[in-house]
Amino acid sequence: MTNAAAARPTAVAQPKKAGAFNRETVTGVRQYTDRLFSFTTTRDASFRFENGQFAMIGLEVDGRPLLRAYSMASSNYDEHLEFYSIKVENGPLTSRLRHIAVGDTVLVGRKPTGTLVQSSLLPGKRLYLLSTGTGIAPFASVIRDPAVYERYDRIVLVHGCRHVAELQYGHDLVAAVRADEYLGDEAREKLVHYATATREAHVNHGRITAAIETGRLFSAIGAPDLAPADDRVMICGGPDVLVDLQNLLEARGFTEGSGGAPGSYVIEKAFAER
């Protein structure tokens, strides 16, 4: 280090763009439960993504970036970024991220990616967004996308959690989209929300896999059983749910889509296996 550099005060503002990351400022934080919170940040104008994608985000710890994959919960036309996060006890990132406050800096990787994108799905009538836990995050982005309402007659957001309180983010999200000045009319007509808790009493009590297999989901929303001719499915949840839902769809003749070969469903892990 040169003498000039050594003499520089440590509080010198860091450049907003540092290598592979943008440095964004936290603009809001909302606590949902002792395990869940959401936050918003500024958004660099150069940061572009497709609704449903994720980026590596995190904090600078001991001068080095500590990053994890996070789905953007805001849509690609929003001026801000929103993330919905777990708090893992002793988790390297979230044991720190859970304490962020307005004005703090969050690193946001400049290369978003992911499989939960419309371009990997063939055209269809109904779009099912099947999620558990924080797996709802990419679908918060998808249901804020006006193009999705043009593409489908119905958009069905399914969210399964252990506890009723863990469903609140989804309820707030859907209420906000239905009340939105621009999207509201379309959303009130086309957006259906099916929330369920598995470890507490709930009107839709039970796993989302069971709701599909028993047909309870379809009778509740007034739709025919899942079929690849008309239905498109996006899945995001824990590792076990993904396997079960994938098997359930493949048994019904659904095929996984990708960028090169669009199909009738797409899938992404909401968190890595331990």
Ligand X SMILES: NC(=O)c1ccc[n+]([C@@H]2O[C@H](COP(=O)([O-])OP(=O)(O)OC[C@H]3O[C@@H](n4cnc5c(N)ncnc54)[C@H](OP(=O)(O)O)[C@@H]3O)[C@@H](O)[C@H]2O)c1
Q: Of these, 74, 115, 132, 204, which contacts ligand X (CB under 6 A)?
A: 132
Residue 133 touching ligand FAD (CB under 6 A):
yes
Side chain identity, residue 24: E
The pair of structure tokens assigned to 126 is 């109904």
- Measured at CB, which residue is nearest to ligand X? 238
The overall longest dimension of the chain from CA atoms, in Å, is 73
**Is there a contact between 42 and 24 (Cβ–Cβ < 8 Å)?**
yes
Alpha carbon distance 53, 177 (integer Å): 19
Residue 216 touching ligand X (CB under 6 A):
no
- Binding partner selected for residue 85 from ligand X, ligand FAD, none, CB under the kind-specific 5 to 8 Å limit: ligand FAD
Residue 54 touching ligand FAD (CB under 6 A):
yes
Could you tell me which stretch among 46-54, 62-70, 90-98, 233-241 binds ligand X (CB under 6 A)? 233-241
**Is there a contact between 36 and 169 (Cβ–Cβ < 8 Å)?**
yes
Could you tell me which stretch among 74-82, 87-95, 192-200, 220-228 binds ligand FAD (CB under 6 A)? 87-95
Q: Which residues pair with 155 in a beta bridge?
A: 127, 191
Residue 218 touching ligand FAD (CB under 6 A):
no
Q: Of these, 60, 223, 244, 263, which contacts ligand X (CB under 6 A)?
A: 244
**Residue whose CB is less far from ligand X, 59 or 195:** 195
- Binding partner selected for residue 132 from ligand X, ligand FAD, none, CB under the kind-specific 5 to 8 Å limit: ligand X
Residue 204 touching ligand FAD (CB under 6 A):
no
Backbone angles phi, psi at 94, to 5 degrees: -75, -20
Residue 30 touching ligand X (CB under 6 A):
no
**Is there a contact between 60 and 18 (Cβ–Cβ < 8 Å)?**
no
**Is there a contact between 80 and 74 (Cβ–Cβ < 8 Å)?**
yes
Residue 39 touching ligand FAD (CB under 6 A):
no
Among candidates 110, 108, 114, which has minimal Cα distance to 51?
114
Alpha carbon distance 237, 270 (integer Å): 5
Task: Report the site for ligand X in 186-205 (rule: CB under 6 A).
Answer: 198-199
- Binding partner selected for residue 155 from ligand X, ligand FAD, none, CB under the kind-specific 5 to 8 Å limit: none
Residue 209 touching ligand X (CB under 6 A):
yes
Residue where the block lists tokens 């703090």: 104
Q: Is 29 helix (H, G, I), strand (E, B) or coil?
A: strand
**Is there a contact between 51 and 114 (Cβ–Cβ < 8 Å)?**
no
Alpha carbon distance 139, 42 (integer Å): 20
Alpha carbon distance 130, 257 (integer Å): 16
Query: How many residues line the site for ligand FAD (CB under 6 A)?
Result: 23
**Is there a contact between 81 and 74 (Cβ–Cβ < 8 Å)?**
yes
Binding-site string for ligand X from residue 87 to residue 126, where x marks contact by CB under 6 A and - marks none: ----------------------------------------
- Which chain residues interact with ligand FAD by CB under 6 A? 54, 68-71, 84-86, 88, 91-95, 133-134, 137, 268-272, 274
- Which chain residues interact with ligand X by CB under 6 A? 35, 132-133, 160-163, 198-199, 207-209, 238, 240-241, 244
